[in-house]
């Protein structure tokens, strides 16, 4: 079993990231999906082997454009989502995940927490950690090929 803490769009809300600090140490993977990637440098330094940071449309120098993570036989595509038009639908994102032989796509950008299946790809948006009204993140478990995402209000 592998556990993930997935966040996105923190937009300089360092207090929100600090609230999750205990979870970072307890889980197998920490993924930030962009727009606030620079805020994760401290976390990357503390947990370098399990922290992955994507670059969002508001990030100019820190983070990866895309990454594939394999856990328990599941291939997971990670990106911010802006390059795939996620504000207008998830079909292009799902197509890219399928092209990379991934069954899960993690994305941000929309600030709307969502779990949807599109063309056989589980698409997960943790919402915006930096949202003033309803900040959220995703806790996800991958166990023996099964993926269980849970959206969690902060």
pLDDT at 16: 86
- The CATH number covering residue 95 comes to 3.60.21.10
119 CB neighbour count, 10 Å cutoff: 12
pLDDT at 76: 98
Mean pLDDT, the chain, whole residue set? 95
pLDDT at 30 over 80: yes
Domain range for 30 is: 2-153
Tell me if 72 sits within 8 A of 145, measured CB to CB. yes
User: What is the pairing mode between strands 74-79 and 104-106?
Assistant: parallel
pLDDT in tens, 101-143: 999 999 999 999 999 999 999 999 999 998 878 999 999 999 9
pLDDT at 111: 95
Split into its structural domains, the chain has a count of: 1
pLDDT at 14: 74
Q: How is residue 114 annotated by DSSP?
A: E
- For residue 59, the number of C-alpha atoms closer than 13 Å in the C-beta half-sphere is 30
pLDDT at 146: 97
Residue from 123, 94, 9, 95 nearest 57 by CA:
9
pLDDT in tens, 48-102: 999 999 999 999 889 999 999 999 999 999 999 999 999 999 999 999 999 999 9
């Amino acid at each position: 079993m592998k556990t993930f803490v997935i966040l996105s769009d923190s937009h300089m809300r360092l207090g929100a990231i600090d609230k999750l600090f205990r979870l970072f140490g307890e889980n197998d993977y920490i993924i930030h999906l962009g727009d606030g990637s620079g805020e994760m440098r401290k976390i990357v330094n503390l947990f370098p082997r399990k922290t992955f940071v994507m670059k969002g449309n508001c990030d100019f120098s820190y983070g990866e454009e895309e990454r594939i993570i394999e856990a328990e036989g599941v291939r997971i595509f990670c990106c911010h989502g802006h390059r795939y038009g996620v504000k207008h639908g998830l079909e292009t994102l799902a197509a890219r995940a399928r092209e990379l032989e991934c069954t899960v796509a993690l994305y941000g950008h929309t600030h709307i927490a969502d779990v949807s299946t599109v063309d056989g790809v589980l698409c997960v948006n943790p919402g915006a950690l930096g949202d003033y009204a309803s900040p959220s993140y995703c806790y996800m478990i991958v166990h023996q090929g099964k993926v269980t995402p849970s959206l969690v209000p902060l």
